[in-house]
Structure 1
Amino acid sequence: MNATHRLVRLARRPSGLPAPEDFTLVRGPVPRPEVGQVLVRNTHFLVFPGLRTLIGGETRDVPLPPLHPGDTLFGPAIGEVVDGPLKKGQLVLHLQGWREYATPVAAECRPLEGILPDPVAHLAQGSAAYGALTRLAEVHEGDTVFVTGAAGAVGTLAGQIARLLGAARLVGSTGSPDKALRLERELGYDATVLRGAAPIASQLAEAVPDGIDVVLDTVGGEQLTAAVHAANRGARFALVGALDGQLSPDRAGGSAPAVLDTYRLLTRGITIAGYSGVDHPDVEEEWEARFGDWLRAGDIRFPYTTVHGIGRAPEALPELIAGRSFGATIVEL
């Protein structure tokens, strides 16, 4: 085993959106596990946009600590147990990504027992989408569903989940023509609206002339505003992200104001709720069982963009924010 390893730290608090120079790749000694800890050699870790909020410091109501200059980044990771109370060679899921070796507490590691056909699929961000579409904005047979941020880690799975739950028409939003084409060709979207091409409201009016029944929103902003205007009576909205604010260069990642026509909400009986996995502890196990079955049957795909090697990790979050990925962003070590 190597005596040293590499890890990614926050070099400085960004002015605006994070750039590669705001992160630094450092080399340090491989940590020694303390009592109750395991030494894990990481193989993959997830890059998630919520890091922007942790770096910006606006972490009120967020169940994760802020990141300060000098701190090592963290997030979901998969690795192989090297030493400690767990079985050597066991693959585990834990939260100490962004480093080659980690020392999580054994009780906070989740052994991966083959529920999913590919261990990397445990980094998929589908649980929130599944929970939102089965608990808050339940999809009914024949519904028209609109997914904002459809090419992201949550959106690429949300559309497929909605279809499997009975959606008849599926519309998604994205920021590039190439991604729009992939959403329709690879993931079964019937139509897409393109951010910046024309007002979202006018694009939605064309894409969903009979209105929207369910909205899975990861963005907020103009897209959420337009979705309210296009919603049918009794439409259900589930909010699982707020990227319009989180990824704004004019904000610190902890706010996302949006204009909503409350008169429309009232007269059309529209419901809007935010989804938090903490409020639905039964969802994760149910989601993983169905996700595994769907993967094995070939009914669902797990799209992700691979970043090869920790040497490129400092670029990964800025690249994600710039919209240069499709699906989840995963660093492979």
Structure 2
Amino acid sequence: MNQTIILKQRPIGAPTLSNFDFVNDDSDLTPKEGEILLETTYISVDPYLRGRMSDAKSYVAPFEVGQPINSGIVAKVLVSKNTNFKEGDYVSGLLDWKTKQISNGKGLNKVNNQNNIPLSAYLGVVGMTGLTAYCGLTQIGKPKEGETLVVSGAAGAVGTIVGQIGKILGLRVIGIAGSDEKVEMLTSDFGYDEAINYKTTKDLSSAIASAAPNGVDIYFDNVGGDISEAVLYNINQFSRIIVCGAISVYNNTTPQKNATVQPFIVKNSALMQGFIVSNYASIFPEAIQKLATWLEQNKLTHTETIVEGFENTPQAFIDLLDGKNKGKMIVKTS
């Protein structure tokens, strides 16, 4: 039976399993001319999906209640009536949370499972996650060798890659994460120069100052909130603040109260810019080539938290927002 995961109701605060529902899809799965039948292999669960579950204006339309959720997926072509794809091909793209589905092939990219790059990596280090890290750091951060980079949410999918790219480009890299285990992982596995556990650090601003005695030149912000405020007290003149996400406040039901950023920006002539990865679509081919080359040269490593079973996709998303992942959170459907 073909299953679909729909948004049953919009979350208020943190999502729960009651916000999702599984429905059996009995629609015809016979592809017409120009179509392909896909079987889902890997599903990407990402923080930005929480925003799409709210009925609020954003850079992308919200999910509709009663309709399928979608995200980055790697799928196998089971049947093809499209000359661009053949049976057995693997593709990646934005697809519905379904075990099987029909597609016309638009927006899908073939992925090569003949090299040393695992299929799941096309949702992570050489997929949108890697592109987000590369484009944000290089296009907004404009790193110069010898500068200091601080990354919040450093043990997450984007954070682990940002730090490694920073090291490749000659930066001093400091990570902020939420457990001693993650802090150890950042320095031992991902080459971070130093890492800080924000949950056990009483004075985060002072800890950042100690780890970055020459100040912070680039801040890659994945979390917002109090952590980002602590970093602002340490930024240098002409620093660049890359706003990728704000996971610390996604589940808030009332506005977060933090220090006003303008004095920090003005005093340091700093740049603060938010972005979405599609802003830089024109450099995706260059970025993917560099990421794949670094991966094959063992200059980049990546960690995945892989959850087994299509039925566990909602729980994997909830666990992601609770910080239970190391690196990229992915569901393997079978």
Residue 184, structure 1, aligned to residue 187, structure 2 = yes
Change (3 A) 1:14 1:243: same
Q: C-alpha distance in 2, partners of 1:49/1:203?
A: 27
How do 1:209-224 residues align onto structure 2 when only pairs under 5 Å count? 209-224=213-228
Separation in 2, partners of 1:121, 1:44: 10
Q: Structure 1 residues 210, 74: closer, same or farther in 2, change over 3 A?
A: same
Cα offset, 1:297, TM superposition:
0.7
Output the CA distance in 2 between the equivalents of 1:199 and 1:303.
29
CA pair 30-191 structure 1, distance change in 2 beyond 3 A: farther
State the match for 1:281 in structure 2.
281
5 Å-filtered alignment, 1:192-211, equals 192-197=195-200, 198-211=202-215
Aligned to 2:266: 266
Q: TM-score, normalised by structure 2?
A: 0.90
Task: Tell me the residue number matched to 2:59.
Answer: 62
Contact residue 10 and residue 23 of structure 1 kept, 8 A: yes
> Is the Cα–Cα contact under 8 Å of residues 80 and 91 in structure 1 kept in the other structure?
yes
Match of 1:52 among 50, 53, 65: 50
Secondary structure at 1:9's aligned position in 2? Answer: strand
Give the 3 Å change call, closer, same or farther, for CA 139–116 of structure 1 in structure 2. Answer: farther
Contact map agreement 2:136 2:277 (CA 8 A) in 1 = no
* Partner-residue secondary structure (3-state), 1:127: helix
Please list every run of 5 or more consecutive structure 1 residues that lacks an aligned counterpart in the other structure.
none
Cα distance, 1:256 vs. partner?
Answer: 6.8
Distance 1:61 1:305, change over 3 A: same
TM-superposition CA deviations, 1:114-171 (whole Å, max 9, x none): 687222211010111111111111111111110011011111111011111111x211
Gapped runs of 5+ residues in structure 2?
none
Per-residue Cα deviation, 1:275-300 (whole angstroms, up to 9, x for no partner) = 23333222311111011101111111
Matched positions, count: 323
- Give yes or no for the alignment of 1:156 onto 2:155: no
Counterpart in the other structure of 1:5:
2
Contact 2:241 2:271 survives alignment (8 Å):
yes
Larger deviation, residues 7-16 vs 289-298: 7-16
The equivalent position to 1:147 in structure 2, one of 145, 151, 164, is 151
- Per-residue displacement from partner, 1:238-296 (whole Å, max 9, x unpaired)? 111121222x3425xxx877534433322322111112333322231111101110111
Partner of residue 15 from structure 1, selected from 9, 12, 17:
12
Whether contact under 8 Å (1:81, 1:91) holds in the other structure is yes
Residues 147 and 216 of structure 1 are in contact (CA less than 8 Å); yes or no, is this contact kept in structure 2? yes
| Residues 120 and 257 of structure 1: CA distance in aligned 2, closer, same or farther (over 3 Å) | farther
C-alpha displacement at 1:108, in angstroms? 1.9
Question: Do 2:247 and 2:321's aligned partners in 1 also have CA atoms closer than 8 Å?
Answer: no
Q: Verify the 8 A CA contact 2:143 2:169 in the aligned structure 1.
A: yes
Give, as a single letter, the amino acid of the residue that structure 2 aligns with 1:69. Answer: V
Aligned to 2:330: 330
Shifted more, 234-243 versus 34-43: the winner is 34-43
Identify the structure with bigger relative contact order (alpha carbons < 8 Å, sequence gap 6+): 1
Name the aligned partner's letter for residue 332 of structure 2.
Answer: E
Percentage of identical aligned residues? 26
2:68/2:96 contact within 8 Å kept: no
- Alpha-carbon deviation of 1:25? 2.6
